[in-house]
Every structure is written in C-alpha cells, then in structure tokens.
Amino acid sequence: MTVRLLAAGDHFVLNRLLVDAVRARVAADLDVVELTLPWPVEPFGRVAEVAEASGGEEEMIEALRGVEICVTQMAPLTERILAASPALRLFCVGRGGPVNANLEAAARHGVKVTYAPGRNATATAEHTLAMILAAVRRIPQTHADLSEGTWRGDYYRYDSVGPELEGGVVGLVGYGAIGRKVAAMLAGLGASVLVHDPYVPEVSVPLEELLSRSTIVSLHARATRENAGMIGAAEIAAMPRGSVLVNCARGSLVDYDAVCDALESGHLFAAAFDVFPEEPVPKDSRLLTTPGIVMTPHLAGASRQTAEKAAAIVAEEVARYLRGEPLLHAAN
C-alpha cells in the first residue's frame, strides 16, 4: 500500500535531507510530495493560533491533500489546516518544541504530533560558549574598532577587562540537553558550574543563590508562562557587579530594558543575546545602542549537523509509526 507523505522543508532543514532520511529508514512504498517554506530567508511568525511558523494555511491545505504523514520543521498546523486535511495522521516537527502545531486540535482530529528534542544541543552549547568568550573578551567591539582603524589599547586597563572562565563561577538556568553540554564545556575550561532547574532538583540550587554567586549567568530554560520575565531588574541587581548575562534560550525569559539599564549603570560588565522579545529586533530598540552587548540573530542552533539530526529524528518517528510501534517523542 502506498503512503502519501509531505516533506515541507525550508532553506535549513532541506527537503532532500528529510526525504533521504525517511527513505533510508522506511521500506514502505512512499508517494512523496514536497513544499519548500521560506524560512530563514523570511522570518518565522504567528500563523493563526500557532507561533514561530513559516508558510501559510492555504498552501499547507493544498499541499496536504490526501497526505497521511507530514515531516517538517516550520510548517504551521492549525485548526483550519487540520479540518481541511482528513487524511493526515502524523505530523513530525524537526525542532526542539512543536510550537508551530496546535497540539490540542491535532489530538481532536486524531493527528499525532512529534518533535525532535536535543537536535541542536551541541550547536547551541558551542554558540553559548562562543558568546560568553566574545562578551568577556570584548571581541566584537575590538574587532569593529580595528576595522575602523582605531587601536583601543585602553581596553587593557584593569577596570576595563573582563573575568576569566578558569576559577570563576558560571550559573546555568536550565539543565536540559543544552545546559548539560555547556556545563561540560565550562568544566573543561576550569570553571565551577552552578545549576538552577526545578526539573532536576538533585543538582539544582535556588535561583537567588545562583545569581548571587555567579560571575556569568547563562539561560537555557524552555519558555513557559511561569518563567516569563524571570530575569528582571531585581534578579540582575542580585548578580555581582561586573558580571555577564547570556541568553541563547528564549527572549521571553529576560527584561531587556533592565539589562540595558544595568549595562549603562556599570552593574553588568556585558551581555550576549541570540534571542529577543521581538524578532527581528526593531530598529529603535535600546539593544542596538547600549554598549557592552554582543548579539546574533537567533542562530545558535545553526549547524549542518542540526539540520541532519532533525531529519534523522523525524524519519525515525515515521518508521515507528509505519511499523505500528509507539512514538518516541510524541507531543500530544
């Protein structure tokens, strides 16, 4: 029996990666149709009731006609799409959280949704370490100065230099796949690591203790309603003067105005961000003019291996589904 499958890839998790991974693991006869979504050439955004999606409802409804399985990273799965796609039974999302899928509506329509936890853990951990080092050693600022012909020897002054990682204390807020890899990297550099994560109580310390003891604080928590704005003015004030804040997790975790205030007052030495409350960052944002901030445009997870792992994880779920086995990463 032929199974109709939609590969709704984009310019990062390519259709050829998705299709090749599925065909390598599935013996069934597949009728594959493809749709290429515009991300990341065009930013993701909200589509109806789901967030961080690429593409529109109309094109998904058309592409899903007669489709039983969809493998994707960014395609939206909304109530309207589900209602128009009665053949759909499996929707595999190749990312750490299926925020682009309406999980409750999918369950009502009998559609199983899976995701790909840990697919970008290594890339994000490596990027986090790079952001920490870039911030404490002022690499972007000094590079920009040199590019403009300015030799900033004054950065060598005692009150202008940042802390070393060796012998320092780094606090990690969140201790999942990414946080654990960051901890291992930091330990290899001789840093002491503190962790705050209510889901890992055996190694967790109170957030207040972590903030007060850490020279560098790096965020790795998944965004929830409960932790929105968890690092605000009071939490930053609890950090030692001259410390560094890094966020490669989600923009909703931080009060960015409070960070700018702390940088301008000199309480924070530096900050490094890969994620923001609004993406792309508005042209009038204080983040673009406050000194001491290192920024990248939400690409901590961007590596070829991340895309390949995403394709492999969703392909394994397709294989389990077709063999009648329980799904490994079911979201609903």
Return the closest-CA partner of residue 217 out of 120, 277, 135, 160: 135
Structure tokens that stand for 33 in this block: 């149709």
Residue of 80, 95, 220, 250 marked catalytic: 250
> In whole angstroms, how far apart are CA 50 and each of 101, 203, 273?
6, 34, 24
Q: Report the distance separating Cα 25 and Cα 328, nearest Å.
A: 15
Q: Report the distance separating Cα 59 and Cα 34, nearest Å.
A: 11
Burial zone of 325 (CB within 10 Å; 0-12 exposed, 13-18 middle, 19+ buried): exposed
Question: What does the DSSP 8-state code read for residue 155?
Answer: G
**210 neighbors 151 (Cβ within 8 angstroms):** no
Burial zone of 132 (CB within 10 Å; 0-12 exposed, 13-18 middle, 19+ buried): buried
Chain Cα centroid distance, residue 100: 14
Q: Report the distance separating Cα 282 and Cα 272, nearest Å.
A: 17
Structure tokens that stand for 219 in this block: 């965020």
Backbone angles phi, psi at 230, to 5 degrees: -65, -25
Q: Report the distance separating Cα 23 and Cα 29, nearest Å.
A: 9
Helix (H) or strand (E) holding 80, with range, is: helix 79-83
**118 neighbors 177 (Cβ within 8 angstroms):** yes
Q: Confirm whether 279 is a catalytic residue.
A: yes
Q: Confirm whether 298 is a catalytic residue.
A: yes
Q: State in Å, rounded, how far the first CA of the chain is from the last one.
A: 27
Residue of 34, 126, 209, 279 marked catalytic: 279
* Residue that is written with structure tokens 């060598």 in the block: 156
Residue of 80, 298, 320, 329 marked catalytic: 298
Q: Confirm whether 250 is a catalytic residue.
A: yes
Known catalytic residues?
250, 279, 298
